Amino acid sequence: MAIMSTEATVVPPKDEEELSLEKLVFGDQSGFEANLRKIENLYDYSDGEEDDFVLDASDEEDSLEGENQDDMFFIDDGADATVAFEKDNNDAMDVDGDDLDEEPAAWDDSDDERIAVSVLSTRLKKLRQTQEEQTLSGAAYQARLPHKIEILRLKDANIARRSRGAIQSINFHPLHPLLITGGFDRTLRIYQIDGKSNQFVSLIHFRDLPIQTCQFLTLKGSNIVYMAGRRRYMNRWDLASGEVEKILRMYGQEKFQKSYEYFKISPLGTHIALLGSSGWVNLVSGQTGQFTKGFKVNGFVADFVFTRDEKSLIISNEAGDFWEFDLESSSNKPSRRWTDASAVNVTRITLGGPSDRWLAVGTKSGVVNIFDRSTFEGVLPGKNPVPFKEVTNLITATSHLAFSPDGQILCISSKQKKDALKLVHLPLGTVFSNWPTSGTPLGRVTVTEFSPNGQMLAIGNDSGKVTLWRINHY
């Protein structure tokens, strides 16, 4: 039963532009509210009150009991927030995938002396020593690259309404300046990110679902958010209609999918990969949530990642063995298999750079190995590729890895130690020395994510904050 607030709230009238933009993202207002009333067990609270939840130490280790009970949740549409998308605003996330691909990376040839790097572009002209310079050799280019990064703190992404539990997952919308956060306070929140006010837009609160992972569906034209915790199901929230759907059927794979808490959505939104048990990674359709395929590897799965073109899924076990599966093939046999012989207890993997050139492998010791996948074809049969760089700045287990969209920056972090975060420059593999400093207020970092255009870096921590940083390189 809904609890209606008796406080009078003065809301300024919305002009036509605001109404049209609001409808674009969340659908028609009347239709949105009508669908909300259809949801069973819905309850609400006034905007002036805090989120209605009970947080205790057992949240982080919730059992699977009660997964068949109906979730009780409410949706707050943040009536005081105005969602506006400024096409010409440099602070907004103006994403064009073609732009990233048009500028070829300067390091396409491994022979530095044979590389001719143009320094006429906006990003690289600052490296010129004279106005007559048009190109640099690879060695000269690397020598002139800064070993310091220009980074500016903005207002916290969730300053308008903070979380009251550890932030477990954050995700930028692929097209609009929106950010979602989820955590152990059982609440998913949406913010409009401009770096200035970062207005709160909406939230959904579950009575019994500490959120471990949340992500926008990247399918073109989609307004869907997927979220999951340590339960035998995941939730699918349609922002346009307000409807919430529970995804729980695995059609024969149920015994290998005991929890939906960790998942990744493929870059184009076609697939959702779920961490299963007993060496399984299961795929469901991004559009329907139905099970499509499963892949089995030896040992315990540490992590997995899709290639940018969605043609392959790379899976690593904790021992450092890697399997690459062809998603366009009907076979479940790997197209490539190799071992990172130097990895000790793999924790996280991720891909980055043009054509997914870089593969970063985080370990329990804190060491992060970076592989150049463009050299894999030259590896002799029976031999394993070797990392071109080992980053040893972290001394506790790597808990998160994130590449900037162009692959020039790798963010590595560990939640086991306060302020344990570093930024790595590629292709050099060097760590930026000037940031973060001992005074940078990061806390225990739980999750990091770059905005789609690479201009912003969002950092979530265990105190419920999401700090926001602008990278002036972009």
Asked whether residue 327 falls in the same domain as residue 207, the answer is yes
Asked whether residue 127 falls in the same domain as residue 243, the answer is no
Question: Per-residue pLDDT averaged across 318-345, rounded?
Answer: 95
Q: How confident is the model at residue 380 (pLDDT cuts 50, 70, 90)?
A: confident
Asked whether residue 118 falls in the same domain as residue 251, the answer is no
**pLDDT, tens only, 302-331:** 999 999 999 999 999 999 999 999 999 988
Asked whether residue 247 falls in the same domain as residue 130, the answer is no
Asked whether residue 135 falls in the same domain as residue 157, the answer is no
* 89 found inside a domain: no
Asked whether residue 264 falls in the same domain as residue 401, the answer is yes
- What phi and psi values does residue 126 have, to the nearest 5 degrees? -65, -15
DSSP 70: P
What is the rounded distance in angstroms from the CA atom of residue 211 to the CA atom of residue 238? 17
Asked whether residue 131 falls in the same domain as residue 241, the answer is no
Q: Which long-range contacts (C-beta less than 8 Å, at least 24 apart) are formed by 246-249?
A: 246/71, 247/284, 247/289, 249/290, 249/291
Asked whether residue 249 falls in the same domain as residue 109, the answer is no
Q: How confident is the model at residue 474 (pLDDT cuts 50, 70, 90)?
A: low
Is the CB of residue 231 less than 8 Å from the CB of residue 206?
A: no
Asked whether residue 429 falls in the same domain as residue 365, the answer is yes
CATH code for the domain in which residue 407 is found = 2.130.10.10
Asked whether residue 402 falls in the same domain as residue 259, the answer is yes
Apex 438 CA angle, 435 and 439, nearest 5: 95
* 7 found inside a domain: no
Q: What is the pLDDT of residue 70?
A: 47
Amino acid at position 162, single letter: R
Show the domain range for 121.
Answer: 103-144
**pLDDT, tens only, 105-145:** 444 445 555 677 787 887 677 677 787 788 878 777 766 66
**pLDDT, tens only, 151-202:** 999 999 999 999 999 999 999 999 999 999 999 999 999 999 999 999 999 9
136 CB-contact burial (10 Å; exposed 0-12 / middle 13-18 / buried 19+):
buried
What is the rounded distance in angstroms from the CA atom of residue 201 to the CA atom of residue 148? 35
Count H helices, E strands: the chain?
A: 4, 31
Q: Which long-range contacts (C-beta less than 8 Å, at least 24 apart) are formed by 427-431?
A: 427/105, 427/107, 428/142, 428/145, 429/370, 429/388, 429/389, 429/391, 430/147, 431/391, 431/393
* 177 found inside a domain: yes
What is the rounded distance in angstroms from the CA atom of residue 79 to the CA atom of residue 202? 8
* 74 found inside a domain: no
Rounded mean pLDDT of the chain?
82
Q: What is the pLDDT of residue 12?
A: 60
* 58 found inside a domain: no
- Counting the structural domains of the chain, the total is 2
